[in-house]
Structure formats: structure tokens, C-alpha cells
Amino acid sequence: MLIQFLQDAFFAAIAAIGFAAISNPPKKAYLLCAIIAAVGHSARFLMMQPDVFGLHIVAASTIAAFIIGFLAVLLSPYGKMPAETCLFPSLLPMIPGIYAYKAFGGLIMCLTHSKEADFDHYFFLFANNGLTCLFILLGMVVGATLPIFFLKNISFQATR
């Protein structure tokens, strides 16, 4: 369990650095993104474990995003960066990409299957994946933006 937890944190950090690189961050942001993403993603991993909290992925992502948002707002003034510069790349490893394209795949399958039972099955997959994806995204952004609004003075003056 501990090894899995540490592995989750380590790979989330690598994922955050790589995906951050795509969106051209300032050099100082890489390290902060890696640390914040590692803490956030491993926290979500822990919360989703059935023998720890066993939370649903939406709830776990929201709380993890809140932790990420809080850390990003507190740490971003050290790099003189807007909170989003650390925040958004750190959230990227939690983006529900697989749910998103499975929803689209389900939709295509709906179109190619006209029998009611098959259609129902694929429509279920489309709706299930699509709704999960939407609510994870919504939960993540609500969770991550709350600290920005709670700590407005820090978050909007970080680049001062």
C-alpha cells in the first residue's frame, strides 16, 4: 500500500511536469507543479482506496483539487506567478481523459447499433462516462478555485 502510494505520487509528478511543458510554463513552475501534483494525486489515490475512505472518484477529485488549489495559492507567490500557472498543470494528471473519449466512443456505438438492447447498453456507457467526466471536471474546478477566492489577497497579488 505504501509503495503504491509513493508510486502514485512519483508518476503523478512526472505526468504533471510533462503536461505542464506542453503549456509553456515559466521554468520555476516545473518543480512547484511536480510537488503539488504529487501531493494532490496521491491524496486522491488514498481517498479512493476502499479500506481507507472509499470515496467516489468525483468526491475524491474535488477534495484533492481543493488541496492542490490551496497549495498552489500558498506557493505561487514564491515564484511570483499567478496561482493558475502552478494550479492548472498540477490538475492535469487528474483530468478524466479516459472517461471523455469513452463517452464519445459510446455515442458512436449508439449510432452503429439500432437494436434496442444494444442501443440502451451503449447509451448507458455514453451517459455514464460523460456524466462522470463532467462532474469530475466540475468538482475539480470548484475544489481548485475555492482557495483562490478564499485567499484572494494572496492569489491575485502573487505577481506583484
% helix, strand, coil for the chain, step of 5: 80, 0, 20
Assess 8 for contact with another protein (CB under 8 A).
yes
Q: What is the closest distance, in whole angstroms, from the C-beta atom of residue 43 to another protein in the complex?
A: 14
| CA-based end-to-end distance of the chain | 43
Where do we find the cell 466540475?
A: 138
Nearer to another protein, 17 or 59 (CB): 17
Contact 110, 118 (CB under 8 A): no
Contact 16, 38 (CB under 8 A): yes
d(CA 103, CA 122): 9
In the window 21-40, what residues touch another protein (CB under 8 A)?
21-26, 29
Nearer to another protein, 55 or 135 (CB): 135
d(CA 126, CA 107): 6
Assess 67 for contact with another protein (CB under 8 A).
no
In the window 108-137, what residues touch another protein (CB under 8 A)?
108-109, 122, 125, 137
Three cell numbers written together for 92: 492535469
Nearer to another protein, 43 or 106 (CB): 106
In the window 78-107, what residues touch another protein (CB under 8 A)?
80-82, 84-85, 88-89, 91-93, 95, 97-98, 100-102, 104-106
d(CA 3, CA 9): 10
The site for another protein (CB under 8 A) is made up of 7-8, 11-12, 14-26, 29, 41, 80-82, 84-85, 88-89, 91-93, 95, 97-98, 100-102, 104-106, 108-109, 122, 125, 137-138, 140-142, 144-145, 156-157, 159-160
